[in-house]
Chains A and B, each alone.
Chain A
């Protein structure tokens, strides 16, 4: 308990002694972690949107008109393809009924065609846009399949968007982490350097390395934690109004956005924990390295 009191007092002294540097670190860490948080949330929302779009992607496979075809056997073969998430077989009569329902009052036009022209067909859903192209190829290779209909351009664009958004999010994440880590590392290094003589004296009079190191590690952890809390505050302040704005202007996106407050609060808690951990790791590394060098006998 006594040691803890001394360590906390020394941590406070360190922060007060380098308050300008501490403030700059706090602001930088806050801004970088805010960018990290916003990028992550943007990426999560985009992922949600893409997942919804992907779940709505449908590949329609039409069979050749041949009464000898065994529908159950083809159905099993299509079902066994690895890209198929779920599928439904439509008989010619069901397909016609669906079409008539879609056409509404204009469905009488279909009577002029005569015999039902629609063959047995399968409505196939995939897990991901990336699965569409290989699925289409696999279906086209089947002799019983006459035609495959799908939104090729949409699929390619969604796939590309998904890839780009993942990469951009990853780059932003890494940049934010690296910059925050460097700033905390640098601040603690300056703090250590300015007190190198004191550290040497402390070690010489019998202070343990952990006693000397802990205030510096705590300083770095506290600065990064406070930066993360500021970032979390900034995210809460910006996110909910931003979502409200998007919902009012782009209502079709409503169901794809993360709007649940609980998720955002949990995300902020996670960000604060991440900030503190990042600060702790950086401070620990720089302090261990510095104190090892300064206390090593020649």
Chain B
């Protein structure tokens, strides 16, 4: 799934410009870091891709979808092809690890047998099978992030959006999460990840898009992050 931002600005009421005239083109299968200081517009950019926000100006196109003109009824079908991992995990606290992952497929009316098989697969992929009956509150931050990744993987998305997925994790756990994200990308899935973790960006040398005060100041393949 390719992503195209054409002249995109996002202004929050009354007149806070979160993004100003952004032009980006991300091809299918790329791994892209969105970097910048807190408040630079990283999360806004990702939320425009997931259509939690609409641009004030310009066009955001993902695959065949023009997100601004998309009908609300089509949004769920679009999101089924987009895996999302957030810094705060967004897990349902009353459900177990297994249920948190399964419900993403149940919402799509996937038959129970297939849900069971696929849930087992993705839980194994993130190495949490032994924790499957625990609730999020019983897991460490890294484990919760892996549950969120497993949920995002459940529907085999073509696009994977990760908003500071290592933000709350120690170095070792963050490295484990990154290993999973690279594995996802190596299967041809486009990964767009925001971070302000320099060591992670510098360790893998992927495409780097840097934002500052809502403006795109750098778009570099194999870039580094010097802060």
Taking Cβ atoms with an 8 Å cutoff, the residues of A that contact B are: 2-3, 5-6, 17, 197-198, 200-209, 211-212, 295, 297-298
A3 to B105, CA, bound (A): 11
Q: Are A204 and B107 in contact (CB under 8 A)?
A: no
Most chain A beta carbons < 10 A, residue from B12, B76, B91, B151: B76
Q: Are B155 and A201 in contact (CB under 8 A)?
A: no
Q: Does B139 contact A (CB under 8 A)?
A: no
Contact of A204 among B53, B90, B110, B111 (CB under 8 A): B90
Q: Are B109 and A202 in contact (CB under 8 A)?
A: no
Contact of B53 among A202, A205, A297 (CB under 8 A): A297
Taking Cβ atoms with an 8 Å cutoff, the residues of B that contact A are: 12, 50-54, 72-73, 75-77, 79-80, 84, 90-92, 94, 103-104, 106-112, 151-152, 155
Q: 7 smallest A-B Cβ distances: which pairs?
A: A207-B107, A206-B80, A3-B109, A206-B79, A205-B104, A208-B76, A297-B54
The minimal Cβ–Cβ distance linking B54 to chain A, given in whole angstroms, is 5
Residues of B within 8 A of A203 (CB): 75-76, 79
Q: Are B52 and A297 in contact (CB under 8 A)?
A: yes
A17 to B50, CA, bound (A): 31
Q: Are A204 and B112 in contact (CB under 8 A)?
A: no
Q: Given A297-B54, A298-B52, A298-B53, are A204 and B79 also a contact pair (CB < 8 Å)?
A: yes
Nearest A residue to B51 via CB reads A297
Residues of B within 8 A of A208 (CB): 73, 76, 107
Q: Are B92 and A204 in contact (CB under 8 A)?
A: no
A120 to B94, CA, bound (A): 89
Q: Given A2-B111, A201-B90, are A207 and B54 also a contact pair (CB < 8 Å)?
A: no
A197 to B92, CA, bound (A): 8
Q: A205-B104, A206-B79 are in contact. List 5 more A-B contacts (CB 8 A).
A: A6-B106, A205-B80, A207-B107, A207-B108, A298-B12
Q: Are B108 and A206 in contact (CB under 8 A)?
A: yes
Q: Are A205 and B84 in contact (CB under 8 A)?
A: yes
The minimal Cβ–Cβ distance linking B48 to chain A, given in whole angstroms, is 9
The minimal Cβ–Cβ distance linking A35 to chain B, given in whole angstroms, is 37
Q: Are A204 and B50 in contact (CB under 8 A)?
A: yes
